[in-house]
């Protein structure tokens, strides 16, 4: 590029383009003013390009940063939603278990006769449970008649079933924190219900043991008739007061079965020379013994364990007897008592 000196307003610049050898040289003349404008435009374009490139780069970085933040927030939100879902499932499962435990608790309370108030106050098992007596249903000083429907403060649900259903309070969206709190409350209620169930089970087991004991005792107390037939001679004085009869006579046909009136152990089985003929004595414990006399045949032996209703002999007329019958006695501590109280 070369220039020629001219007046300021007419100065020009010549731009020559020199190709490879053998080709024509091209020249371009530009006035100074045009040249200046071209340089200025080129500079402005460069500035605009740099600015646009910088803005585009910044915008791309900002968008990328925002996208990363949004993605991270979405991940956090998804994690929280998953946690809420899992907590809700666990809460529903615990609530179902709570309802099942409540049903079991009600059934055990019904079977044991244990009043709910005893468990709520953490009182010892009432004596009525051990004795088998019915639990009190009338209000007492410890159980007010005007007590409102009980509400489980851990979960806010009525135990007795409310007659009024008014509800209210602010609307709060569920989140991990308040769902965890609700879950903790349900778990506390479950622990409370499990503790109640253990107490009821213990009371029920104690009552069952008592019932079994009572059944065992009752089976060892003479009850009912030793044989079918007619009472031919009662307990006490007879024959115009000339004889004291220590039992009752039940008359029927020869071979009529004679059965034990209670569980026990055979003390004697066989011939008795004191007028009873073929006789069976059974020890029922607690000083109680029953005697069955005048049998035609005895089918048990001493030391044998027998149960109520078991055949021990067959009716006959052995010993001091006027006809087929069974002489039946109940003895307490060795003394005969009226069997009428045990029939």
pTM of the model: 0.46
- The whole-number pLDDT of residue 1 equals 43
Out of 23-32, 194-203, 311-320, the most confident range is 311-320
pLDDT of 11-35, one tens digit each? 666 777 777 776 777 777 767 666 6
- Contact at 8 Å (CB) between 125 and 108? no
Write phi, then psi, for 269 (nearest 5 degrees): -155, 110
pLDDT at 152: 46
Q: How far, rounded to the nearest angstrom, does the alpha carbon of residue 140 sit from its chain's CA centroid? A: 30
* Secondary structure string (H, E, C) spanning 212-252: HHHHHHHHCCCCCCCCCCEEEECCEEECCCCEEECCEEEEC
Q: Are 160 and 126 in contact (CB under 8 A)?
A: no
- Rounded Cα distance between 228 and 259, Å, is 10
Q: Among 114-128, 156-170, 175-189, 285-299, which range has the highest average pLDDT?
A: 285-299
Model pLDDT for residues 68-82, shown as the tens digit of each residue: 778 888 887 788 777
* pLDDT tens digits, one per residue of 82-108: 777 777 777 777 777 777 777 776 776
Closest CA to 88 of 182, 173, 20, 152: 182
Q: Which residues contact residue 250 at a Cβ distance below 8 angstroms, ignoring those fewer than 6 apart?
A: 225, 226, 227, 228, 229, 230, 231, 232, 325, 326, 328
* Cβ neighbours for 310, distance < 8 A, ≥ 6 positions apart: 259, 260
The rounded distance, in Å, linking the Cα atoms of 213 and 11 is: 135
DSSP 8-class letter at 124: P
């Amino acid at each position: 590029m070369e220039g020629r000196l001219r007046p300021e307003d007419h100065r020009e610049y010549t731009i020559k383009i020199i190709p490879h050898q053998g080709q024509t040289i091209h020249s371009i003349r530009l006035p100074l003013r045009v040249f200046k404008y071209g340089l200025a435009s080129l500079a402005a374009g460069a500035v605009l390009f740099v600015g646009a490139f910088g803005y585009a780069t910044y915008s791309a970085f900002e968008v990328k940063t925002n996208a990363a933040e949004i993605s991270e927030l979405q991940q956090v939100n998804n994690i929280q939603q998953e946690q809420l879902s899992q907590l809700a499932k666990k809460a529903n499962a615990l609530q179902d278990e709570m309802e099942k435990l409540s049903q079991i608790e009600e059934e055990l309370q019904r079977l044991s006769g244990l009043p709910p108030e005893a468990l709520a106050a953490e009182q010892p098992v009432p004596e009525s449970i051990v004795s088998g007596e019915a639990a009190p249903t009338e209000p007492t000083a410890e159980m007010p008649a005007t007590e409102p429907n009980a509400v489980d403060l851990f979960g806010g649900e009525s135990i007795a079933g409310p007659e009024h259903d008014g509800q209210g309070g602010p609307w709060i969206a569920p989140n991990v924190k308040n769902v965890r709190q609700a879950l903790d409350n349900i778990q506390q209620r479950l622990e409370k219900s499990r503790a109640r169930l253990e107490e009821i089970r213990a009371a029920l087991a104690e009552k069952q043991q008592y019932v079994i004991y009572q059944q065992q005792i009752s089976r060892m107390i003479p009850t009912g008739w030793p044989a079918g037939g007619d009472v031919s001679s009662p307990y006490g004085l007879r024959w115009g007061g000339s004889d004291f009869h220590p039992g009752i006579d039940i008359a029927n046909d020869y071979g009529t079965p004679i059965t034990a009136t209670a569980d026990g152990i055979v003390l004697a089985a066989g011939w008795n020379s004191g007028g009873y003929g073929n006789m069976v004595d059974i020890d029922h414990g607690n000083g109680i013994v029953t005697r069955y006399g005048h049998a035609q045949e005895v089918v048990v032996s001493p030391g044998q364990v027998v149960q109520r209703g078991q055949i021990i002999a067959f009716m006959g007329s052995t010993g001091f007897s006027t006809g087929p019958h069974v002489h039946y006695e109940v003895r307490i501590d060795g003394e005969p008592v009226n069997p009428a109280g045990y029939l």
